[in-house]
Amino acid sequence: MSRIVGIDLGTTNSLVAHVEGGIPRVIPDAEGRALLPSIVAWTPHGVVVGEAARRQLARNAARTVYSVKRLMGRGYEDVKDDLSRLPFEVTPHAEVVTIRIGDREVTPPEVSAHVLRALKRRAEAHFGEAVEQAVITVPAYFNDAQRQATKDAGRIAGLEVLRIVNEPTAASLAYGLQKMAEGIIAVYDLGGGTFDISILRVKDGVFEVLATNGNTHLGGDDFDQALVDWIAADIRARHGVDLRSDAEAMQEIRLGAEAAKCRLSFDERTVLSIPFERFTYHRDITRAEVEGLVEPLVATTLGPCRRALADAGLDAKAVDQVVLVGGATRTPLVRRRVEELFGRAPHSRLNPDEVVALGAAVQAQILAGGITDMLLLDVTPLSLGIETLGGIVSVLIPRNTTIPTLAKEYFTTSVDGQTTIDMHVLQGERELAKDNRSLARFDLAGVDPMPAGMPKIEVTFLIDANGILQVQAREQRTGKAASIEVRPTYGLSEDQVEQMVEDSFTHAEADVEARLLIETRTEADTVINHVERALRQAGRLASDDERASIETALAALRAARPGTDRDEIRERTIALNQATAPLADRMMEAAIKDAVTSKRADRLLEDR
Partner 1 sequence: MTDYFTVFGLPRKLTVDADALQRRFYELSREHHPDFHQGTDAARQAEALARSALVNRAYRALRDPLPRVEYLIALEEGREVREGASEKPKAPRELLQEMLEVQEALEEARAAGMTGEGADRVREERARLEARYAAEAEAIAGRAAEWDRLVDGGGDRKPLLEWFKQRLATRAYLRTVIDDLSDALGEREEDHVPHRRH
Residues that bind partner 1 (CB under 8 A): 1, 162-163, 203-204, 206, 208, 303, 307, 310-311, 313, 363, 366-369, 372, 375-377, 383, 385, 392-398, 400-410, 428-431, 462, 464-465
Distance of CA 286 to the CA centre of its chain: 31
From the CB of 288, what's the least distance to partner 1, in Å? 31
CA distance 329 to 186: 14
To the nearest whole angstrom, how small is the minimum distance from the Cβ of residue 428 to partner 1? 8
The amino acid at residue 99 is I
Do β-strands 133-138 and 160-166 pair in parallel, antiparallel, or remain unpaired? Answer: parallel
Question: Of the two residues 308 and 554, which places its CB atom closer to partner 1 in the complex?
Answer: 308
Distant-in-sequence, close-in-space partners of 465: CB < 8 Å, separation ≥ 6: 163, 378, 403, 404
Strands 392-397 and 384-388: antiparallel
Active site (annotated) includes residue 545: no
Cβ closest to partner 1, residue 322 vs residue 371: 371
- Count of residues making up the chain: 608
First to last CA, the chain: 71
Cβ nearer to partner 1, comparing 182 with 568: 182
Q: How far is the CB of 405 from partner 1 (least distance, A)?
A: 5
CB closer to partner 1 out of 206 and 316: 206
Is 496 in contact with 437 (CB distance < 8 Å)? no
Sign of CA dihedral 208, 213, 215, 221: negative
Which C-beta is closer to partner 1: that of 105 or that of 311?
A: 311
By beta-carbon proximity to partner 1, the closer residue of 275 and 313 is 313
DSSP state at residue 76: H
Distance between CA 422 and CA 459 in Å, rounded?
12
Helix (H, G, I), strand (E, B) or coil at 508: coil
**Shorter beta-carbon distance to partner 1: residue 178 or 405:** 405
Handedness of CA 175, 176, 179, 180 (dihedral sign): positive
261 as an active site residue: the answer is no
Residue type, 321: Q
Instruction: Compute φ and ψ for 376, nearest 5 degrees.
Output: -105, 125
At CA 208, angle to CA 205 and CA 212, rounded to 5? 145
Q: Which is nearer to partner 1, 376 or 554 (CB)?
A: 376
Check if the beta carbon of residue 251 is closer than 8 Å to that of residue 228: no
Calculate the alpha carbon distances from 492 to 11, 299, 423, 518 in Å. 20, 35, 20, 34
Residue 286 C-beta: closest distance to partner 1, Å: 35
Establish whether 229 is a catalytic residue: no
The whole-angstrom separation of Cα 531 and Cα 131 is 33
At residue 199, φ and ψ (nearest 5 deg) are: -110, 125
Distance between CA atoms of 246 and 232, rounded to whole angstroms? 11
Amino acid identity, position 279: F
Measured from the CB atom, the residue of 107 and 213 that comes closer to partner 1 is 213
- What ranges make up the beta strands (E) of 117-173? 133-138, 160-166
Residues 6+ apart with CB under 8 A from 259: none
Q: Are 499 and 457 in contact (CB under 8 A)?
A: no
Is position 8 annotated as part of the catalytic site? Answer: yes
The active-site residue out of 189, 224, 353, 378 is 189
Please answer whether residues 70 and 79 qualify as being in contact, where contact means their C-beta atoms are separated by less than 8 angstroms: yes
Q: Residues 8, 224, 252, 387: which is the catalytic one?
A: 8
Q: Indicate the residue among 38 and 383 with the shorter CB distance to partner 1.
A: 383
Work out how close the CB of 203 gets to partner 1 at its nearest, in angstroms, rounded to a whole number: 8
The distance of closest approach from Cβ of residue 533 to partner 1 in the complex, given in angstroms and rounded to an integer, is: 51
Rounded Cα gap, residues 310 and 567, in angstroms: 58
Exactly one of 29, 69, 151, 152 is catalytic; name it: 69
Q: What's the min distance (Å) between Cβ of 285 and partner 1? A: 35
The one catalytic residue among 167, 222, 224, 353: 167
Active site residues: 8, 69, 167, 189
